Structures are given as C-alpha cells and as structure tokens.
Amino acid sequence: MKIAYVLNTYPQPSHSFIRRELQALEQQDVEVLRLAMRPSDAPLADPGDQSEAARTEYVLKAGPSRLLTALVREGLAAPRRFSKALALALQLARASDKGALRHLIYLAEAAHVKQRCAAEGVQHMHAHFGTNSAAVAMLAHVLGGPAYSFTVHGPEEFDAPQALSLREKIRRAAFTVGVSSFGRSQLSRWSAFAKWDSLKVVHCGIEPARFASPLPLPGGTLRLAAIGRFVEQKGQMVLVRAMAQIVVQVPDAQLVLIGDGEMRPELETAIAELGLQRNITLTGWLAEDGVRRELGRAHALVMPSFAEGLPMVVMEAMAAARPVIATFVAGTPELVQPGKTGWLIPAGDEKALAEALLELSETPQERRAELGQAGRTRVLERHDSAKEAARLAGHFRKAIGT
C-alpha cells in the first residue's frame, strides 16, 4: 500500500506527532510519499525533523514554470475534469478571505501533486489539518488523482469552518479524522448526517519505548515545565502572571517555558516587569531528548491554553509520569482527569491557575507520584503510536478497497 501525505509546512518543531505517525506507518509496511508545500522557516533542532526534511518533496520548490506546466497539462488532457477543479477552486476562494489568486496557486499545486501521485503509484492521499493541505488534496482528487482523507486537529479549523470550506472537504473525502472524541463532535457539526460514519477518531500517539524508564519525581522546591509555541492561544501570559502570585508563598518556584514564537518579546517584558527573571527560564525550541530531560527535572507540566486539539505535550508529560495542570478545553479532559492524573482549570483564569499551582506545591511527593503514574498508565493505554497508526492504516485499506 502506498500513501501520499499532503502537508503544508513540514516538518515543524511543533508537529512531531506527524513524524511519529509516518514512521509508525512505515514500520507496518505502508510506503509513504511526503509531499509538502514548503519547508519550515523555523530552525529544526531535532535530528528526527532534520531527517524528515531530507525525505520530503517540496511542491513550491518545483518553481512557477513547472507548476504552470502541470496545470496546463491537466487542462489539455482532461478539460472537463479541469473545469470542475477550477470551479471548485473558485468556490473555495469565494468562501475564504485568501482570494482567487491564492486558490489558483492551490490548483497548480494540486496538479503537481496529482501527477507525482500518478508517477509514484500512490493509491490514496492523506492530508494533515483541514486548511490548504486538505484543499490541495481535494483539488488533486477532482483532477483525477486518488481518493483523499484528512486529519483535523483544531482549533484553527473549528474557528473558521466556513472560510475553510470544511463541510465541502468532508463531503468529498473518503473519510475524515478527528484526534479526539471532541474533535469528531466538531466535525459532525460541519458535515451532513449521512457522512457521520466516515468521521473517525485516530489519536495522535507517542512511542512508549522512548518513555520506558521515567525518572522519579525530583525533590526540592516546585519546578514546572510548559511547552508550546509562544502565541496567544497557548496562554503562557496567564501562566507568567499566575507565577507572580505563586512566588509570594513559594519564592524559589521555578518555571521553564520551552518553545518560541511571536509573543516571546512580550513574555520577556512581562517577566521583567513582574520581577520573575530568577523564577522563569525561556529555553527556545529543544530537541525531543531536551524536552524529556526538562520533563524529568519537573514536578509537573502546565498547559494553560485557551484552545487546543489534543496536546502532544500532555501525552508526553503523562508518559514521563508527571502530573498535569491543564485547562478545560477541547480534547484535554479526555486525557487529564481531575484528582486522578492532575488538575483541570478554566481557561484564562489566573486565580484558578495560581490556586492549582499552590495546591501542587503543597501536595506530598507520594501523592504527586501517584497522579503521575495514573497518567502514565492512561496515556500508554490510549495513545500508542503503533496502535493508532494501525487503526489509520485500516481506514486507508478500506478506502482503497472501495
């Protein structure tokens, strides 16, 4: 079985879950052609990402002349199919704020993808995210390429389902994947009831072997880790302000913010204004072994997000036997169970977050270890990347068979 993965920007430091999925599929004898529109602008610190970049074909690197040639070739070879694809691209443009030119570029990308799939004997296309990658896969299918499916993570797709023509993408797809039950429920909102059976749940996964021997919880003063892009939706600013409340009672509390992004200058300013330079460290992006090292040094992971899909960082922290303090958003409650594996708090509530952090600081070490172990058991049962890849491969086989 040969599958093409149609991706927008790949690999990216925050998208290691796609890499794990691809590698787990290949370990189960699924051949994967990686077709990304463009490489990441972010530096790739992880060797796994660097390896993936070397294996990925970048559509836009083909250049405007080759993409235009691909488009003209499709128009001459199958005018009726081409006219249908052109009409669909313009329909997507009318719903979007991106304009017709952008969607004509998607159509040219789709022509290239369709021809690469034909040349490589691809039997099915799968896209990650319901954004332009799904649009390119859909247009490639209308041009005569193989059937497609796509995985929706959220929250971006659920913020703008009409502008992204999510209903149309679901309607034409062989199947659509949500990464949580919550995600599937949101897909149900934007699809006809007749398509509900084509909506699947395939969790993002971790590799249990990488967490075979979690480190025991450290002693000492409270140490926290938070991982994610420095953008508004991740809520790091709420966490910084909650830390200002915590250090009044726990002066030596430490927080490590792992990641980077557009809000870094604002976070650095807030840390300085609140006098938290001694308490909060910004590491930038770390490779996977660096993330695991920081989780090993922490008493808990904090995820203060305003919106999420199903956070990989929560899975990794739970696999590392660390309790989690997270916000009650999207699929997160399917992982974090209050009183069993950690704490859930309302998103954006600084006071509730500070109270949870203080409660964690006062929780006996033995109880912290119990919460961490319960989380580890739960995530290993539900999010083994090999098992989830086998589930996805089964959906691919069924789609190819029909």
Tens-digit pLDDT profile for residues 38-57: 999 888 878 888 999 999 99
User: Mean pLDDT score of the chain, rounded to an integer?
Assistant: 94
**For the whole model, what pTM was predicted?**
0.86
Find the mean pLDDT for residues 201-214. Answer: 88
User: Which fold does the domain 209-382 belong to in CATH?
Assistant: Rossmann fold (3.40.50)
Q: Is the pLDDT of residue 402 over 80?
A: no
Cβ–Cβ under 8 Å, residues 185 and 162: no
32 touches 7 (CB < 8 A): no
**Residue 39, exposed/middle/buried by CB under 10 A (0-12, 13-18, 19+)?**
middle
What pLDDT was estimated at residue 211?
Answer: 85
C-alpha distances (whole Å) from 352 to each of 182, 242, 326 are: 24, 9, 11
Alpha-carbon distance 374 to 195, whole Å? 36
Domains 2-205+384-401 and 209-382 in one fold: yes
Dig out the tokens for 165 from the structure: 């023509």
Q: Is the pLDDT score of 155 beyond 90? A: no
Residue 185: the pLDDT is 96
Cα dihedral 328, 334, 335, 340 in deg (nearest 10): 80
- If you classify domain 2-205+384-401 with CATH, what class do you get? alpha beta
Cβ(8)–Cβ(38) below 8 Å: yes
Q: What are the sequence ranges of the domains in the chain?
A: 2-205+384-401, 209-382
Q: Which helix (H) or strand (E) covers residue 201, if one does?
A: strand 199-201
d(Cα 402, Cα 254) in Å, to the nearest integer?
A: 55
Q: For residue 49, count other CB atoms closer than 10 A to its CB.
A: 23
